[in-house]
Amino acid sequence: MRLLALKKVSAIDRIMERFWEIDFLRGIAIIMMILFHLLFDIAFFTSIKVPVDSGFWFWFARATAAIFILLVGISLTISHQRTIESGGKAGKKFFKRGTKIFCYGLLITIITWIFFPGEFIIFGILHFIGISIIISQLFFNWKWKNLLLGMALFLSGLFLQNFSFNFPWLLWLGFKPEQFATFDYFPLLPWFGLVLIGLFAGNLLYPKAKRAFRIPELGKKLFARELCWLGKHSLAIYLLHQPILVAIMLILKTA
């Protein structure tokens, strides 16, 4: 009985194990996101001109989003493998998780519609991640096909961005309506392509939720530890950082 209990505890510990390098990269993306949003808020609320809609900072924001979205795909692969291994129901788990994150996106839609009705967020990063988590379970076993399909979807989405359309109901897919303005827009095309590439990378780098490569355990070292902490709490930080930045901007503006 004792041996059985020890094996059970060991299995649970392995299932709960986090890969520090994933949290570390997500923590870097968090820092990049906060920096960009700070510059965006300065440009929006003050007279200081910061070119966030073009040039370096435009691509900086896209690179930040790309890191987040690729890590979504990689993390989903690991979580799926561990759920199957523990005897859980992956479909139910990811539907609940995706719905929860999508509802956070709806909350942001309501808040931005109240305060910024001209550019409120309809299908932003949280809407996108929520939907992606739900539909990604259809692709977990596609292996190399995810790389090919992901690249095709990503390139198709980039091409689609050159056009606008006179109907709004497919904006979530990537058919951007004419005169469409929003603070945050992440349609499935091209961005779900990166999720699929992340699923491919997760299967390649973490087969059966185990590292397929060697890496020093640096997660508890100075700076890496703090970045890993940010990565572990990325959703909470995402939800809280912008209201805090906006509040600071408004206080400074009225001071």
Asked if 182 and 121 touch (Cβ cutoff 8 Å), the reply is yes
Cα–Cα distance for residue pair 244/178, rounded to 1 Å:
32
Tell me the one-letter amino acid at 188. Answer: L
What mean pLDDT do residues 168-195 have? 95
What mean pLDDT do residues 172-177 have? 95
Give start and end residues of each alpha helix (H) in 46-186: 55-85, 90-115, 125-136, 144-160
Terminal Cα-to-Cα distance of the chain (whole angstroms): 67
DSSP 178-201: TT---S----HHHHHHHHHHHHHH
3-state secondary structure of 165: strand
Whether the pLDDT of residue 5 is over 60: the answer is no
pTM: 0.90
Over the chain, what is the mean pLDDT?
Answer: 91
Provide the token pair at 129: 């991640």
Whether the pLDDT of residue 80 is over 60: the answer is yes
Q: How many CB atoms lie within 10 A of CB 104?
A: 17
Asked if 112 and 120 touch (Cβ cutoff 8 Å), the reply is yes
Per-residue confidence band for 3, with pLDDT thresholds at 50, 70 and 90: very low
> How many CA atoms does the CB half-sphere of 197 hold within 13 Å?
17
Least confident residue range of 10-19, 104-113, 242-251 = 10-19
The partner residues of 212 in beta bridges, in order of sequence, read none
Provide the token pair at 132: 């992606």
pLDDT digits (tens, 9 = 90+) for 49-76: 899 999 999 999 999 999 999 999 999 9
Task: Identify the pLDDT of residue 36.
Answer: 97
3-state secondary structure of 245: helix
Task: Identify the pLDDT of residue 253.
Answer: 78
Burial class (CB in 10 A: 0-12, 13-18, 19+), 144: exposed
Per-residue confidence band for 2, with pLDDT thresholds at 50, 70 and 90: very low
Asked if 174 and 122 touch (Cβ cutoff 8 Å), the reply is no
Per-residue confidence band for 9, with pLDDT thresholds at 50, 70 and 90: very low
> How many CA atoms does the CB half-sphere of 188 hold within 13 Å?
12
Domain ranges of the chain: 89-215
Task: Identify the pLDDT of residue 255.
Answer: 67
Tell me the one-letter amino acid at 116. Answer: F
Asked if 38 and 245 touch (Cβ cutoff 8 Å), the reply is yes
Task: Identify the pLDDT of residue 181.
Answer: 93
Burial class (CB in 10 A: 0-12, 13-18, 19+), 205: middle
**Phi and psi at residue 156, to the nearest 5°:** -65, -40
- Select from 72, 19, 24 the least CA-distant residue to 210: 19
Per-residue confidence band for 123, with pLDDT thresholds at 50, 70 and 90: very high
Task: Identify the pLDDT of residue 6.
Answer: 39
H/E element, 84: helix 55-85
Find tokens 């309501």 and name the residue.
110
